[in-house]
Structure 1
Amino acid sequence: MTTRNLPGALEGACHATPAEQGFSMPAEFAPHDACWMLWPQRPDNWRYGAKPAQQAFIEVATAIAESETVFVGVNDDQYENARIQLPDHVRVVELSSNDAWMRDVGPTFLTHPDGRLAMVNWEFNAWGGLDGGLYFPWDKDRRIRTKVAELLGVECFTVPVMLEGGAIHVDGEGTLVTTEECLLNPNRNPDMTKAEMEQVLRDTLGVKTIIWLPRGCYQDETDGHVDNLCCFVAPGEVALTWCDDPADPQYAISREALEVLESTKDAQGRSLKVHKLLQPGPLYIAEDEASGIDRLHHSHPRRPGDRMAASYVNFYIGNEVVVMPLLDPALDDAASAIIQDLFPSRRVVGVPAREILLGGGNIHCITQQQPSRAASRS
């Protein structure tokens, strides 16, 4: 593993940036070699010692493993439990974490036309640090990216910018979508301007065009991660969380996003085709669902009646499957049909995911794709 620090994203690079070296971030719908996950166990975030959540994670891992290798990182004290419960073909590795959101604490993978794989090691402060962050400490989470780089033996670019994987989505052809609510939040990089953040994204991920949506989903505790609101499903096409109720705060958020998306060209000069996915519910934490959680002053509270940021856009695009959350019996089938139309060559697998949502995210949030090296050479 080679680690390169790149303070030059802001201050004048002492090394060539990943983009200058020919690296870029591929789309999630491009071929994968693997998927990385983490095992839930945090008792102040997951009820009843995370036992219900573990079952949901097992279903997600099993579905993804139909068409690609799945690695599940586990703390030592849960290793045996995870190994016994997960299917034999899912690979369990000791990889300590503070919680289970691999999308945000795991690496952002890059590929090179010559077949090389690399990764980005961003800074991480648990979605806001001491100013609105979701838990403390986050020291184990900050080491995950370098550990994965060691395990894979790939080059690791360390970029001293606070950024979580769920805050960005790319089309693999030079376009990135994100939200101002998250990437420009003062609890992430308070001294950075919008132009400076754009330069970091271009230098690090090899993108040309950055689409800024104003806000993420209503009540999203990540400060508006884009992967809960909008994602690329193909070059020139996005899925967008939608709401038809003018009295719902999500109504205005979705329409703001639609206006931006419909008035923007991507890096290839295309107008974007927007596919709307009605939000589930709205969904709220039930009285019994708020019980069984340890109450700690440094952790985000889970209270009865709290609205959850539920979204069908929060799915994982695997090699041969799309794993989507089942959240609302009244809308699950309709959402599944739309997603199936978007991915005709893949099989849509629905997984009961309310237990993941109760922890603050969903299927996309707990997964991180490792792109195929062979595909980058094609």
Structure 2
Amino acid sequence: MQQREMVVTGEAPAVHGYSMPAEWEPHSQTWMGWPERPDNWRDNALHAQLVFTKVAIAISKFEPVTVCASSAQWENARSQLPEHVRVLEMSMNDSWFRDIGPTFVVRKNGSNHGNLEQRIAGIDWNFNGWGGVDDGCYQDWSLDLLVARKIIGTEKLPRFPHFMILEGGSIHVDGDGTCLTTEECLLNKNRNPNLTKEQIEDQLKAYLGVQKVIWLPYGLYGDDDTNGHIDNMCCFVRPGVVLLSWTEDEKDPQFKRSMEALSILSNTSDANGRRLEIIKLHVPGPLYMTDEEAAGVVQDGNAKPRLPGTRLAASYVNFYIANGGIITPQFGDQKWDDEAVRVLSQAFPNHEVVRIEGAREIVLAGGNIHCITQQQPAALSTSNC
């Protein structure tokens, strides 16, 4: 007998005692997609697939990995990925699982809210291709809309659908009541024009189980595809400590953005009243798309153009925290690549920092390692967290 999916409507996750855990809390697995769009990934995604494989292998040394590939690409993905990486067939418009996958929430031991027995659940946000028909990255996102639901169903978890348009890369939590986001993205008129800042904040609190939202005005300079996602700009290292994308070059447009963020972060506290410690993580470059790279993309009008000379939204903040590992992009800028590894090693002394060479291939299409991954938390008791 086929089991019906468990859909929870009319009640937010927090009502049932769920909250979004920090990314450094234990995972049961990582979810990824498989790139193939020729109008976004150059040379039919040949180079990107090699880097996605590197990322999947790196993460799989720390925790299980599931990669989802379309029917046309399943055999190709299966042949490139090692056997211990699970490969599932799934339709999608593109492979940004941070944004189109579910946001998982957990309920720890001792929480007796609501009537759901499962310790893990998934939020199925609404999605409009990062801005809709006029301002998004491509025209059709109908397959992406189903990815979160399919993943939650595969894991047989309760699903909390939400009307609000939100991508996973636009939020970051400390697991202790605080959420980071940007006004540039969440308040953009191409997402939820009928919601006020206060209404959006109320939804974040109800669905993520947080008590305070810290709003930065902007994301990373050049991150136009996502309208300034937080995961390129700033993230928590642990409660009370954040990493901030930084540059000392006052002529770089990123400088003003970093300074404004520094001012806000320096003059606020988290949900528990902690003053924030800020660790600066220098951006690479600046880096720009070459003529050769742009020529490899099919510019047929179905996706946002990839033009030569475009500044790439490259950031070392866009790393992934695995169970005991930090999977970090490397852009071929040796000075800042090495500096990023040093800073991340100090910020996460109990994690092994793993370099992913060639991560430029991901940023060419508008994101990086954090953008292509989605962690599924493990169900642990309060005493084990």
Q: Structure 1 length normalisation: TM-score?
A: 0.96
| Equivalent residues of 2:108, 2:380 under 8 A apart | no
User: Aligned AA for 1:310?
Assistant: A
- Among 138, 143, 152, the residue aligned to 1:140: 143
- Among 348, 351, 354, the residue aligned to 1:346: 351
Is the alpha carbon distance of 1:33 and 1:275 closer, same or farther for their aligned partners in structure 2, counting shifts above 3 Å?
same
**In the TM superposition, what is the alpha-carbon distance from 1:323 to its structure 2 partner?**
0.3
| Equivalent residues of 1:37, 1:367 under 8 A apart | yes
Deviation track 1:99-149 (CA, whole Å, cap 9, x = no partner) reads 010000000000001461001000001100123100020011000011011
**2:325 is the alignment partner of 1:321:** yes
| Equivalent residues of 1:44, 1:293 under 8 A apart | yes
**2:361 is the alignment partner of 1:359:** no
| Equivalent residues of 1:284, 1:305 under 8 A apart | yes
Counterpart of 1:103 in structure 2 is 98
Helix, strand or coil: the match of 1:42?
coil
**2:35 is the alignment partner of 1:35:** no
**2:172 is the alignment partner of 1:169:** yes
Counterpart of 2:212 in structure 1 is 209
Counterpart of 1:89 in structure 2 is 84
**2:315 is the alignment partner of 1:311:** yes
Query: Separation in 2 of the partners of 1:23 and 1:278?
Result: 35
User: Aligned AA for 1:61?
Assistant: A
Runs of 4+ deviating beyond 4 Å: none
Query: Separation in 2 of the partners of 1:295 and 1:29?
Result: 39
Query: Separation in 2 of the partners of 1:16 and 1:83?
Result: 39
**2:127 is the alignment partner of 1:121:** no
- Among 222, 243, 254, the residue aligned to 1:219: 222
Query: Separation in 2 of the partners of 1:191 and 1:356?
Result: 33
Which deviates further from its counterpart, 290-299 or 54-63? 290-299
| Equivalent residues of 2:63, 2:322 under 8 A apart | yes
**In the TM superposition, what is the alpha-carbon distance from 1:4 to its structure 2 partner?**
2.1
**2:375 is the alignment partner of 1:369:** yes
Helix, strand or coil: the match of 2:16?
coil
User: Aligned AA for 1:101?
Assistant: W
Counterpart of 2:196 in structure 1 is 193
Is the alpha carbon distance of 1:44 and 1:375 closer, same or farther for their aligned partners in structure 2, counting shifts above 3 Å?
farther
User: Aligned AA for 1:262?
Assistant: S
Helix, strand or coil: the match of 2:335?
coil
Counterpart of 1:181 in structure 2 is 184
Query: Separation in 1 of the partners of 2:382 and 2:46?
Result: 39
Q: Structure 2 length normalisation: TM-score?
A: 0.94
Aligned residues: 369
Is the alpha carbon distance of 1:376 and 1:57 closer, same or farther for their aligned partners in structure 2, counting shifts above 3 Å?
farther
Query: Separation in 2 of the partners of 1:273 and 1:300?
Result: 37
Counterpart of 1:240 in structure 2 is 244
**In the TM superposition, what is the alpha-carbon distance from 1:292 to its structure 2 partner?**
1.7
Aligned-pair identity (%): 50
Query: Separation in 2 of the partners of 1:50 and 1:3?
Result: 35
| Equivalent residues of 1:136, 1:299 under 8 A apart | yes
**2:47 is the alignment partner of 1:52:** yes
**In the TM superposition, what is the alpha-carbon distance from 1:377 to its structure 2 partner?**
6.5
User: Aligned AA for 2:296?
Assistant: G
Deviation track 1:175-230 (CA, whole Å, cap 9, x = no partner) reads 00000000000000001000000100011110001000000001102000000000
Query: Separation in 1 of the partners of 2:341 and 2:186?
Result: 30
**In the TM superposition, what is the alpha-carbon distance from 1:330 to its structure 2 partner?**
2.4
Counterpart of 1:69 in structure 2 is 64
Counterpart of 1:268 in structure 2 is 272
Is the alpha carbon distance of 1:16 and 1:248 closer, same or farther for their aligned partners in structure 2, counting shifts above 3 Å?
same
Which consecutive residues of structure 1, in runs of 5 or more, have no partner in the other structure?
A: 6-14
| Equivalent residues of 1:111, 1:376 under 8 A apart | no
**In the TM superposition, what is the alpha-carbon distance from 1:16 to its structure 2 partner?**
3.0
